[in-house]
Amino acid sequence: MKIKQSIEKIPGGLMLVPLFLGAICHTFSPDAGKYFGSFTNGLITGTVPILAVWFFCMGAGIDVRATGTVLRKSGTLVVTKIAVAWVVAVIAAQILPSNGVATGFFAGLSTLALISAMDMTNGGLYASIMQQYGTKEEAGAFVLMSVESGPLVTMLIMGTSGLATFEPRLFVGAVLPFLIGFLLGNLDNELREYFGKASHVMIPFFAFALGNTIDLTVILKTGLLGVTLGVAVIIVTGIPLMLADKYIGGGNGTAGIAASSTAGAAVTNPLIIGEMLPEFKPVAQAATALVAASVIVTAIMVPMLTAWWSGYMNNKEVMEKA
């Protein structure tokens, strides 16, 4: 059976298929991990440790001579993503009611929901996509994306940074496995080759564990608005990200599309901010559901769009050289 070949025919298949298998497992049997326990539970619930190993191997596979490329690429994507979310926040604050839309198709939509969906990139999704359709250096651009993790950036965008404290140790903890791998890989070429190969192998395992954090019924609960928000995130953030990647990051736009997703961690932001800032508590629950739907929609669409754009650009380059 040509299972791998069949999966690879699907855009972003090595990431997308395991992710959906995990989402189906979580949706219909959310306690499967606890039921089986042991190693099966570790595989189902092991997003963080699997990611840690994966990031280590990814760091080991990057040559120090490409460090400038990694920082330029990641910095460009992060700053652009945050800037777009900031502009959206300013505009939305002028249009939407402070307590969100109460009735009609846009019921539940709020400034909090828009910012939470747009200001954080799914770093794991981005890195796995770029492992397939970009370079190691482009995949390594996820490093600075950890700055977006948690409610800090969302609160800064909403003008409430005085109520949030950023602990540097958490940022260090997020990038330490990558940095250690990067150091070892550049101290020993054989280690770079050895660990670098493993980064591709880890993709299906990480994707399956990530899928086991997603409930597919969220789309039904939020209706068409949740799907619309996910599409809007890709369009509103994706276009500026593509332009920034091309004209500042030195890419061809592929990394920009790959970064136009909503991070899974963003789902927790509305509730956290609602607790910190009581004025946003009334809209937190609806915002959470909408952001969760955006996570699912972008996880589906971004790999496919990235694969299509990468193929288009590759064909264009071939034709120009011919």
| Domains of the chain, start order | 13-307 (1.20.1530.20)
Count other C-beta atoms under 10 Å from residue 101's C-beta.
18
DSSP 31: T
First to last CA, the chain: 37
Query: What's the confidence (pLDDT) of residue 165?
Result: 46
Alpha-carbon distance 249 to 241, whole Å?
10
Check residue 69 and give its pLDDT. Answer: 66
Dihedral angle over CA of 11, 233, 165, 58, nearest 10 = 20
151 to each of 119, 214, 254, 261, how far by Cα in Å?
10, 20, 27, 17
Tokens 């599409």 sit at which residue?
Answer: 231
Q: Is 7 left (phi over 0), alpha (psi -120 to 50) or beta?
A: alpha
Give φ, ψ of 181 to 5 degrees. -60, -40
Quick check: pTM over 0.85? no
Q: What is the pLDDT of residue 164?
A: 42
pLDDT along the chain (322 residues), means of 10: 81 76 90 92 86 84 70 82 90 84 83 90 82 74 63 71 51 79 91 87 84 76 87 96 90 90 80 77 83 87 91 82 69
pLDDT value of position 74: 78
Amino acid at 103: T
Token couple for 156: 């800064």
